[in-house]
A and B are shown apart, each in its own frame.
Chain A
Amino acid sequence: EAGVVQSPRYKIIEKKQPVAFWCNPISGHNTLYWYLQNLGQGPELLIRYENEEAVDDSQLPKDRFSAERLKGVDSTLKIQPAELGDSAVYLCASSLDGGGRLPPSGANVLTFGAGSRLTVL
C-alpha cells in the first residue's frame, strides 16, 4: 500500500515568491494534517482536515498561508508571499480518524509523508 505522498520534496525560492505543496494521503484516511517542522524542533500543526472540512486551522498564518482539500482526498498548502522565516519542512500526515486514539489494531495513528523541504532565499 502506498504511504502518504508529498511533492515537491525540495523547493528553493526567493522571498516574496509563491509556493505550493501537494499531499496525497493514504487511501481511505479521512483526516489529513499539515505540520511545519523547523530544524531541531518537533512538528507543529498548521491545519487539520476531517474529510473536506478544515476543523482546526488556528495555527495557520492566514495572511499568507492557505490550504484546501477538495473532494476530501488530496490537499494543497500554499504560501504567498513566502518569507525567509518560512524555510522549514512541511509535513503532511493522515489518519483513519481524528488520530491519537490508542491503536491496539495499529489503526488510528498518524502516518507522515516524507515532507517538502522549503528554502526561502
Chain B
Amino acid sequence: RKEVEQDPGPFNVPEGATVAFNCTYSNSASQSFFWYRQDCRKEPKLLMSVYSSGNEDGRFTAQLNRASQYISLLIRDSKLSDSATYLCVVKNTGRRALTFGSGTRLQVQP
C-alpha cells in the first residue's frame, strides 16, 4: 500500500462548480500535511498547508481528519486557471523529507 493515495482523476468540472479531492495516508504518526499544485510540465508549488482545525484560503479549503487518516481539498467557484494536478503531501515523524501522492488531475471546462 502506498504511503499517500489519491484518486488520479481526471475530474472534469464546469466553471463555477465546487469540487473536492480526498487523500488518504497510511502512517498514523504523520505530522504535517500540505497540498501542492502542479501545472502541466511545470514544477510543483505549495498551494496550502493543512492544519488540524482546517483552514481556508480564498476559494480553497483544506481539512484534516486524523482519526480516518485523510485530507481533503475543496475548491469553490472553479476557474479555468484551476486546471492542474493537485498533489497531497505528507511529512512523517522521523523523516524530514516530504512524501507526495500521485496527484489528482482537475480540468475545469468553460
Q: With a CB–CB cut-off of 8 A, which chain A residues contact B87?
A: 42-43
Within 8 A of B (CB), among A31-65: 31, 33, 35, 40-45, 48, 50, 55-56
Known: A41-B102, A42-B87, A110-B46. A102 touches B96 (CB 8 A): no
B14 within 8 A of A: no
Q: With a CB–CB cut-off of 8 A, which chain A residues contact B43?
A: 91, 112-115
B25 within 8 A of A: no
Question: Across the two chains, which residue of chain B brings its CB closest to A47?
Answer: B97
B100 within 8 A of A: yes
A100–B91 touching, CB < 8 Å:
yes
| CB-based A-B contact count at 8 angstroms | 62
Q: What 1/0 mask marks residues of chain A from 75 to 110 whose CB sits below 8 Å from any chain B CB?
A: 000000000000000010000001111110000011
B51 within 8 A of A: yes
Q: With a CB–CB cut-off of 8 A, which chain A residues contact B32?
A: 100-102
Question: Across the two chains, which residue of chain B brings its CB closest to A44?
Answer: B100
State in angstroms the CA–CA spacing of A24 and B7 once bound together. 34
Within 8 A of B (CB), among A8-44: 31, 33, 35, 40-44
Q: With a CB–CB cut-off of 8 A, which chain A residues contact B34?
A: 100, 109
A43–B44 touching, CB < 8 Å:
yes
CB distance from B29 to the nearest CB of A (A): 13
Q: With a CB–CB cut-off of 8 A, which chain A residues contact B8?
A: 40
Residues of A in contact with B (beta carbons under 8 Å apart)? 31, 33, 35, 40-45, 48, 50, 55-56, 91, 98-103, 109-110, 112-115
Residues of B in contact with A (beta carbons under 8 Å apart)? 4, 8, 31-32, 34, 42-46, 49, 51, 87, 91, 95-103
Between A and B, 27 residue pairs with Cβ closer than 8 Å are A35-B100, A40-B102, A40-B103, A42-B4, A42-B87, A42-B101, A42-B103, A45-B99, A48-B97, A55-B96, A56-B96, A56-B97, A91-B44, A98-B97, A99-B97, A99-B98, A100-B34, A100-B91, A101-B32, A102-B51, A103-B46, A110-B44, A110-B98, A112-B44, A112-B45, A113-B43, A114-B42
